[in-house]
C-alpha cells in the first residue's frame, strides 16, 4: 500500500492510501478558495452524570444531502472541485471540514460562568473522514476483500496516528450508513474521531471487565466469546480468527458483534492474518445484514478499542454493527425508557434475529 500525505486549500491534511499497482502519483493541488478552518469546539462535563458533552456550533453549516453530481467526497472533475483534488483514488482520508474536535481550538474558562460544578475545556482532538472508494454508487459490503483489507490497514494507521495527537484520549473509527441513521452524504465513507476524553460506554465496559477479572481471573470478553461459540445459537459467522454473533443482551433490533479470537487492545495490534480474515468474515456479515429485509440495511459500525492511556490490559477489540430497522419498513425509535432512563426494550430476541441472519443472504 502506498501512502501519500498532502494539504487542502485551507491547510487541512489529506492522505491517499493506494492499493492498486498502477496508481498515479498524488500531486493534484486543491484549487478552491477556502477560508482558513477555524473550529471552536468545547466540552462540558455534566455534573449529574460525570459525562462529557461536546459543543460544536460551527457544524450547523456542514454539507447536507447534496445531489450526487455535487458530492464533496467524489474525485474532483473539471469545473467541480471537491474535498479530494485527485481525479481518482483508492482510499482517501482527510481532516473533517466541520469537526466535532480539532487542534487549535481556542481556550475556554475552566468552568461555566456561574456554574463552578460544570467543568469546561477546549474540544481538542481530531476528526477525519475516510472515503472507502471513489465509486459513489457502491457500498462497503460491495467492496472486494482486497479493498476491505486496505481499509483495515487505514483504520490501524489512523488509530496509531491519532493516538499521538495532543489531547486525544480515545480513537473511534466508525461508519454510518443510510438516511435512517442520519447520513447526509451517501458516498461510501466512515469517520475516525480522536476524543479528548474516554467515552462513557468505554469507561463502563472497562469497569465491568475489571470487576470480572478480579472475580474470575479471566478476561470477560474471552469468556463471553467462548460461551457464544459453545452455544452456537446466536453465532452468525465464524472463521479461524473471528466470530460474529448477536449478543445475548442485544439492545438493537439488529445487532452483531464481530470479535477476534485473540485479545488485542486495538486495530494496530492485529496481525496480517487476522486482518485478511476479517475482510472475508465482515463481508459475509454485511451480506447477511443486507439480505435480512432484502434491502440495504441502515447501520452503524463501531469499533471498540482501548483508550490511548488507560485500560489497555482490559480491553478486547471488537466491532459492533447495529441497525434501527426493526422490520423492512419500520424503525425503532428511542422512546421514554431508552432515551430517558437508558433502559432498552427490544422487540425481538437475540436468538430469533441470529437465526434469521443465518438464513439470510444478499
pTM exceeds 0.85? yes
pLDDT tens-digit series, residues 107-159: 999 999 999 999 999 999 999 999 999 999 999 999 999 999 999 999 999 99
Q: How many CA atoms lie within 13 A of 29 on its CB side?
A: 5
b/e code 260-282 from CB counts within 10 Å (16+ = b): bbebbbbbbbbeeebbbbbbbbb
Catalytic residue, from 189, 241, 257, 304: name it: 189
Contacts of 259 (CB under 8 A, 6+ apart): 221, 225, 242, 243, 244, 245, 316, 318, 319
Please report which confidence band the pLDDT of residue 62 belongs to, taking 50, 70 and 90 as the band edges: low
The pLDDT of residue 149 is: 98
Q: How many CB atoms lie within 10 A of CB 289?
A: 26
Any idea which residue has 460491495 for its cell? 142
Position 58 pLDDT exceeds 70: no
189 is catalytic: yes
pLDDT tens-digit series, residues 247-292: 999 999 999 999 999 999 999 999 999 999 999 999 999 999 999 9
Position 60 pLDDT exceeds 90: no
The DSSP output letter for 78 is T
The pLDDT of residue 36 is: 83
The pLDDT of residue 239 is: 98
The pLDDT of residue 102 is: 95
Please report which confidence band the pLDDT of residue 215 belongs to, taking 50, 70 and 90 as the band edges: very high
Please report which confidence band the pLDDT of residue 69 belongs to, taking 50, 70 and 90 as the band edges: confident
Burial of 77 (0-12, 13-18, 19+ CB in 10 A): exposed
Average pLDDT of the segment spanning 84-95: 97
Please report which confidence band the pLDDT of residue 64 belongs to, taking 50, 70 and 90 as the band edges: low
* CA dist., res. 295 & res. 317, Å (int): 29
Element (H or E) spanning 82, and its range? none
Given a contact cutoff of 8 angstroms between Cβ atoms, the answer to whether 322 and 303 are in contact is no
Given a contact cutoff of 8 angstroms between Cβ atoms, the answer to whether 222 and 293 are in contact is no
Tell me the average pLDDT of the chain: 95
Range with lowest mean pLDDT among 60-64, 213-217, 240-244, 268-272: 60-64
E-strand spans in the chain? 2-7, 13-18, 42-45, 52-55, 91-95, 111-112, 115-122, 126-131, 170-177, 189-195, 235-238, 242-245, 254-260, 299-304, 318-323, 325-327, 330-331
* CA dist., res. 57 & res. 278, Å (int): 37
* CA dist., res. 98 & res. 121, Å (int): 19
* CA dist., res. 295 & res. 330, Å (int): 13
The pLDDT of residue 362 is: 65
The pLDDT of residue 67 is: 75
Please report which confidence band the pLDDT of residue 205 belongs to, taking 50, 70 and 90 as the band edges: very high
CA 58 to chain centre: 22
- 3-state SS of 298-325? CEEEEEECCCCCCCCCCCCCEEEEEECE
pLDDT tens-digit series, residues 223-254: 999 999 999 999 999 999 999 999 999 999 99
Domains of the chain, start order? 2-197 (3.30.428.10), 201-359 (3.30.428.10)
Contacts of 82 (CB under 8 A, 6+ apart): 71, 72, 73, 74, 75, 76
The pLDDT of residue 61 is: 59
Position 325 pLDDT exceeds 80: yes
Amino acid at each position: 500500500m502506498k501512502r501519500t500525505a498532502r494539504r487542502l486549500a485551507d491547510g487541512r491534511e489529506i492522505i491517499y492510501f493506494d492499493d492498486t499497482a498502477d496508481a498515479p502519483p498524488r500531486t493534484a493541488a486543491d484549487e478552491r478558495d477556502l477560508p482558513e478552518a477555524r473550529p471552536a469546539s468545547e466540552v462540558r462535563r455534566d455534573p449529574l452524570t460525570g459525562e462529557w458533552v461536546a459543543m460544536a456550533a460551527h457544524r450547523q453549516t456542514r454539507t447536507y444531502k447534496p445531489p450526487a453530481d455535487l458530492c464533496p467526497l467524489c474525485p474532483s472533475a473539471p469545473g467541480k472541485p471537491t474535498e479530494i483534488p485527485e481525479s481518482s483514488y483508492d482510499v482517501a482520508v482527510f481532516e473533517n471540514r466541520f469537526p466535532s474536535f480539532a487542534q487549535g481550538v481556542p481556550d475556554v474558562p475552566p468552568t461555566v460562568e456561574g456554574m463552578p460544578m460544570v467543568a469546561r475545556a477546549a474540544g481538542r482532538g481530531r476528526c477525519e473522514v475516510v472515503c472507502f472508494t471513489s465509486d459513489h454508487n457502491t457500498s462497503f459490503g460491495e467492496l472486494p476483500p482486497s479493498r476491505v483489507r486496505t481499509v483495515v490497514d487505514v483504520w490501524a494507521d489512523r488509530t496509531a496516528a491519532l493516538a499521538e495527537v495532543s489531547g486525544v484520549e480515545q480513537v473511534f473509527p466508525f461508519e454510518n450508513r443510510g438516511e435512517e441513521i442520519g447520513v447526509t452524504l451517501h458516498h461510501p465513507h466512515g469517520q475516525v474521531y480522536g476524543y479528548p476524553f474516554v467515552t462513557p460506554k468505554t469507561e463502563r465496559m472497562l469497569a465491568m471487565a475489571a470487576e470480572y477479572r478480579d472475580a474470575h481471573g479471566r478476561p470477560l470478553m474471552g469468556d463471553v466469546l467462548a460461551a457464544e461459540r459453545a452455544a452456537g445459537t446466536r453465532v452468525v459467522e465464524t472463521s479461524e480468527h473471528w466470530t460474529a454473533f448477536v449478543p445475548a443482551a442485544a439492545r438493537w433490533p439488529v445487532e452483531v458483534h464481530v470479535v477476534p479470537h485473540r485479545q488485542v487492545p486495538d486495530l494496530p495490534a492485529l496481525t496480517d492474518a487476522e486482518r485478511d480474515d476479517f475482510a472475508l468474515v465482515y463481508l459475509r456479515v454485511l451480506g447477511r445484514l443486507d439480505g435480512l429485509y432484502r434491502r440495504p440495511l441502515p447501520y452503524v459500525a463501531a469499533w471498540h478499542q482501548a483508550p490511548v492511556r488507560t485500560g489497555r490490559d482490559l480491553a478486547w477489540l471488537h466491532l459492533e454493527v447495529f441497525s434501527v430497522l426493526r422490520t423492512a419498513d419500520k424503525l425503532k425509535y428511542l422512546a421514554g425508557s431508552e432515551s430517558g432512563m437508558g433502559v432498552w426494550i427490544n422487540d425481538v430476541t437475540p436468538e430469533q434475529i441470529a437465526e434469521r441472519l443465518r438464513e439470510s443472504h444478499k
